[in-house]
Each structure stands twice: as structure tokens, then as C-alpha cells.
Amino acid sequence: MATESYRRSARTGMSIVELLVALTVFGIVITTSVAFMAHENTAFQTAIKRMVGLRNLRYAITTLSQDLETAGTNVPDGQPQFIYGDSNVVAFSADYATNITNDPFAVFHDPDAPAGQVRAPDGALSIPHTGYSTPDTVYESSPGVRSPAEMLFFYLALDSSTTRTDDYVLYRKVNDGQPEEIARNLLHSGTDPFFSYERIAEDGSGQDILQEVPDSLMPIYHSAKIHLSAADSGSSAMSDSVRAIWVRLQATNGLDGADEKRVSLSRLIPLPNAGLGKMATCGSRPLLGDSLTASAVTLVTGEPAVDLTWGQAIDEAGGEGDVVRYVIWRRLSGATDWGDPYVAVPAGDSTYTYEDAAVTPGTTYEYALAAQDCSPSLSTLVVSASVTPVTP
């Protein structure tokens, strides 16, 4: 019995062959797992590198789409809606932003928008990276009131901060303000231009079709000062027929060699407001028919202020009954330009008072008032007498 027990005990454990087989299998499993993990890590790193370019590209396309679709919004008659277009540059007009409250007509309200960047410029502007300029005139929505539609420019320029010769930076500019960098590391998508344009044209049967503007007709340039005037014909009038813009971009992650990853994206951006005239749904230009009184007062805090008072406009109390708000301007006495609107007051009261506490003692001011309807048209301005707040 003892011998049998010894033999059984001796057969427990692994032989050398079994151990080698186990180690071999284990080695294969480990090698396969490490290779799989390495492959997954490489794929993850590649995805990250592609994501950098894709995120950059999507932001550029989204910004272009958001802004280009506002072209023509609340642009007064006579002001060109689409100004210029070539393969690298787009210029257009839109009531894009306002920095005053109670303005329902601009696309966006930005209380921090710089002065002069929420209305039409006061003359010609050079169109970036072209030999062209915007029409040399002052566009008005009402006599003496600058148009609320600013001019916006998008353009791509070679990036001088890199050693490459094929990468671009997308910039956005409003009026004569400083250009804003939107995206870097942008490339041409093959041989496609960055921007190309679709216009309304007639086919052989007289039907309207969307047709790409050929290279032979580029650049698109609204050379006439006044939109739809007799001079706005021929090549100048072609800008009035643009209805969409193709944007084709390629982005790189900014790395070189094997680490560089590229992604491409294209989008047809419609211009839903371009070519549309403002509909005067509220009828004729509103009638104000009241005076504006400006009085120097002292606040309970002892600070100086100016009280502005006026009554209902003719077309609010009766008439067309279409006045939706009152717009106030302020300027230094002797100035010739009213500048941006100062404040807007909603309609709906029988009498109105606005207290301007942001005044400087000893400085003489003038104020102007206009009624505005929903079209939106402004009445003729009424101007207050000069007023000088003083510290008691």
C-alpha cells in the first residue's frame, strides 16, 4: 500500500513538455493582447489627431453658416445686400447685431458691441485682400439716420506664422473693425475654391433655376452705389441674384509628416434674405408729430441727469396705429453725426419719460427721437433743444 501511495504522489504536477506548451500558449495570448492594445492605442491617437482638425473645420463652417444666412436682413432700400464674392472673400450687409435694448429687428443683441459696429459705415471700405472697395456712400434708413445694417467680411489669407505655403487662416471683420481670427490650419479641398456661388438664372424655357457662377464672371462685385438704381445693371446686378454659397474647406491638425491628419467638409449655405425687399406691412413711414423735451435735473443722490419727455406719436394714438417703439439718439452739441442709437423705449404708454443719468456735468448734449413701426421704418427725427446738466 505504501508503494502505491508513493507512485500516485509522484505523478502530480506538470511535465517539462506540458510547462513548455503552457508557456507558449501564454506567450501567444500576451503577444496578441499587447498587439491589440497597441493597435487600439494607435487608432485612438489617430482619432484624436483627426478630431483636432474636424473640430476646427466644424467651427469654421458653423460660423460661416450662421453669419452668411443673415445677409440681407433688415437692409434698407438702396443698400446692397451682397457686395462682393470671389474664391477667398465674401462681403455682405446685414442688421447682424445691436447694442441697444428693445431692438427687435437685429439678428443678435450684443450690449458690448463696439460703437460704429452696429450700423452701416460712413463711407467706402477696402474689401480685404482685393483691389475693390465697398460703395462710397452713406446708407440711411431714414433721413439723417444711418442704416442699422453693418457690412461683414469673411476672407481666407495665407498663414504667415507657419513654414507651410498652403495653409490659410479664416478671418471675420465688421465694418472697419479689427479682423477676428475664426480658424487656422485650413487648406484647399483638392482643386476646389474655398467659396463658389449659386445664382438665380433662367433656363431655356423661362423657368428660374439655381446656377453656379462661372469663373469667367468672377469676381462678383456690386459696383453701383444704390441698390436697384439705373446704374445697378450688368455685372453689378449679378450680385443681386446670388442665393447660396458653396463652402469647401479642408483642415489639418497642424502636425507634419505621418502625424498630419486631414479632414474635408463642404456645405451649401443658403442666403434666405438676399434678394428680398423689405415689406412695408405696417403701411407708410410712421408719423411722430410730437416734440422732444430735454431738461436738466438732479437725482435724489445728488447726481446730475437729463429727463426726456414726449407724447404718443400720431400713428400710435391713431392713424395707422403701428408704432412699436421709440428710438433715441444722443450727441455732443455741435456734432454732425448722430452715431448709434442711444436707447429704445417700447411703445404702449400715453406719455413717455426717459432719464439719462450717464451724463457729464458741464457738457452740452442734444437728443433726437423717432417713432418706429414694424416694417421697420422710422419717422422723421425731432431734435431737442441743447441741454447742459450741472452739479448743484
In terms of DSSP bridges, do strands 351-356 and 220-221 run parallel, antiparallel, or are they unpaired? unpaired
- Both 342 and 208 in a single domain? no
Q: How many helices (H) and strands (E) does the chain have?
A: 3, 21
> Quick one: average pLDDT of 170-175?
96
Task: Tell me the pLDDT tens digit for each residue of 77-120.
Answer: 889 999 999 999 999 999 999 988 878 788 998 888 887 889 99
- Both 178 and 323 in a single domain? no
Lowest mean pLDDT among 122-126, 143-147, 149-153, 273-277: 273-277
> Quick one: average pLDDT of 176-197?
94
Q: How many folded domains does the chain comprise?
A: 2
Distance CA 76, CA 74 (A): 6
Identify whether 2 is part of a domain.
Answer: no
Distance CA 194, CA 89 (A): 9
Asked if 218 and 195 touch (Cβ cutoff 8 Å), the reply is no
212 membership: H or E segment, kind and range: strand 208-212
Q: Which residue has the cell 422710422?
A: 378
> Quick one: average pLDDT of 123-151?
90
- Both 154 and 190 in a single domain? yes
Identify whether 18 is part of a domain.
Answer: no
Please report which confidence band the pLDDT of residue 353 belongs to, taking 50, 70 and 90 as the band edges: very high
Lowest mean pLDDT among 144-148, 162-166, 219-223, 256-260: 256-260
- Both 310 and 223 in a single domain? no
pTM: 0.72
Distance CA 98, CA 343 (A): 11
Task: Return the pLDDT at 279.
Answer: 52
pLDDT, mean over the chain: 85
Distance CA 154, CA 92 (A): 9
Task: Tell me the pLDDT tens digit for each residue of 305-331.
Answer: 999 999 999 988 888 888 888 999 999
- Both 250 and 341 in a single domain? no
- Both 82 and 131 in a single domain? yes
Tell me, what CATH number does 319's domain have? 2.60.40.10
- Both 234 and 319 in a single domain? no
- Both 89 and 172 in a single domain? yes
Identify whether 33 is part of a domain.
Answer: no
Task: Tell me the pLDDT tens digit for each residue of 199-237.
Answer: 987 776 767 788 899 999 999 999 998 887 878 888 888
Question: For residue 243, is pLDDT > 90?
Answer: yes
- Both 206 and 155 in a single domain? yes
Task: Return the pLDDT at 44.
Answer: 47
Asked if 244 and 271 touch (Cβ cutoff 8 Å), the reply is yes
- Both 190 and 312 in a single domain? no
- Both 318 and 365 in a single domain? yes
Task: Return the pLDDT at 51.
Answer: 60
Identify whether 45 is part of a domain.
Answer: no
> How large a percentage of the chain has pLDDT more than 70?
88
The burial of 334, by beta-carbon neighbours within 10 Å (0-12 exposed, 13-18 middle, 19 or more buried), is given as exposed
Identify whether 90 is part of a domain.
Answer: yes
Identify whether 20 is part of a domain.
Answer: no
Question: For residue 31, is pLDDT > 80?
Answer: no
- Both 249 and 314 in a single domain? no
Residue range(s) defining the domain that contains residue 227: 51-270
Question: For residue 258, is pLDDT > 90?
Answer: no
